[in-house]
Chain A
Amino acid sequence: MTMIMAEPAERNDSDAPSAPAEEMVLVDRARGGDLKAYDELVRRYQERIYATIYHMTSNHEDANDLAQESFVKAYQALKSFKGGSSFYTWLYRIAVNKTINFLKQRKNRQHMSLNDLDFNAEHNPDFVALISDKTPRRDAGLSELQEKLNAALLKLSESHRLAVVLHDVQGLSHEEIAKIMHCNIGTVRSRLFYARQQLQALLADYVKAT
C-alpha cells in the first residue's frame, strides 16, 4: 500500500505535533533562511495538508497547486509566526484559508478530478458489503460510490465540509479543529452535526445499506 492519508491511528510519534522543541528548532532555522530545515518541515506535513485540501476540493490538480502555495506562503510568513500555537496548527490555518478563498472564487465551476482508491479499499468489509449483491445498489462499483460521496461533500458549505473532513476523514479532535477554524468547540460540534445530517440525507441509499 502506498499510503492511507491522515488516519489518526496510523500517525507515528515523530510525525505528530508532539515534538514542539525539535520543531521550533526547525522553524527557527527556516526563519533564518535555511531551506533544508524548511524542506524537513514540508516533508512532515505534506501528506496531511495535501489530503485536507484534496478532500475539500475533490480535485487533485487544485489540491496540488494549493498545497504548494500554502507551503510557499507559510515560508514567506514565517517571520510573523510567534509560536502562540503549534507550527502544525498555524500551517493548517494557512492552508484552510487559502482553500476556502479558492472555493469561493470557484463556486460556479466545480469540477472533480478524483484520485484513485488504493488497493485496501476493495478489501474493506464495509465497502464490500455496500457493493455486494445484497445491497439495493449492487450496480454501484467503488468508484461510483466514491463519486457520489465526493459530490455530496461538495454540496455542503465550506465550513461544514471542513468540519467533516477534519474530523471524520482526517481524524482531528474537536479541540484541534476549533483552533484551526478559529471558533469554539461548541461551534465545531454543531457544524459537524448539521454536516452529517445533510450528508446522511444526500447519501441515504448507501448509508442504509452499510
Chain B
Amino acid sequence: MSENENDFEALRRLLVLKRHEIPPPGYFEDFSSRVVGRIRAAEAVRELPFLLRLLQAFETKPAYPVAFASALCTLLLFGIVSVEQSPVLVTTPVFSSSGDNAFSLTPRALAIGNSSTNPPVDVPLFGTQPNTAANYQTVNFSPDGN
C-alpha cells in the first residue's frame, strides 16, 4: 500500500489545494447561533396546534397548498361523477289504510322518498298496504230497483 501512496503523492499534493478553500470571512462566527435558532423554530412549530402547523407548512412550502388544492379538486370531481352515475330514486306511492282509497303518502313513505341516501327499494310498511279485501262493497243489481 505504501507503494501506492507514493504513486499518488503528486495527486495528494494537488488535493491539498482543497484545504485552502475557505467560506466567506466571519461565516463561522454566528453559525452555531443560526443552528440554535433553527432548533428553537422547529420546537416552536411542534408546539403549535395542528391547524396552525398546517398553515405554517403551507407558507413555507408552496408545494403543500398546491397538493392540497389538487386533492380537493379531485375529491370534488369524484363526488360530482359519482352523483351523476348513481340511479335516480323513484318514490313509490303507498296506499294509506285510513280514510278513502285515494293515493296518499304516509310520513314514513315521504321520509324514504326524500332521502337521497336510501336505496330505491320498496320497503313493506306494516299496515299501510292497500287492503283490497276490506275496502270494497258488494253491490247487487236488480232490474226492478230493490
Contacts and interface: CB of A to CB of B under 8 A. Distances in A.
B117 interface: no
A39 B40 CA distance: 12
A4 interface: yes
B1 interface: yes
Question: Chain B interface residue count: which class?
Answer: 20 to 34
A55 B18 contact: yes
B19 A169 contact: yes
Nearest to B25: A2
Question: Chain A interface residue count: which class?
Answer: 35 or more
Contact of A189 (B1, B12, B15, B20): B1
Interface stretch (A14-22, A79-87, A95-103, A112-120): A112-120
Given A35-B39, A38-B39, A168 B20 contact: no
B14 A126 contact: yes
Is chain B's binding surface mostly helix, strand, loop or mixed?
helix
B10 A210 contact: yes
Contact of B22 (A2, A42, A43): A2
Given A42-B32, A196-B8, A206-B14, A4 B38 contact: no
A117 to B, nearest CB: 5
Is chain A's binding surface mostly helix, strand, loop or mixed?
helix
Interface string A54-72: 1100001000100110011
B13 A126 contact: yes
A150 B15 CA distance: 10
Contacts of B13: 126, 210
Contact of B17 (A76, A127, A207): A127
Interface of A: 2-7, 35, 38-39, 42-43, 46-47, 50, 54-55, 60, 64, 67-68, 71-72, 75-76, 114-118, 120-121, 124, 126-127, 130, 142, 145-146, 149-150, 164-165, 168-169, 189, 193, 196, 199-200, 203, 206-208, 210
Across the A-B interface, give the 9 residue pairs with the lowest CB-CB distance, nearest first.
Answer: A121-B20, A42-B32, A210-B10, A115-B21, A71-B35, A168-B15, A196-B8, A169-B18, A117-B20
Interface of B: 1, 4, 8, 10-25, 28, 31-36, 38-40, 42
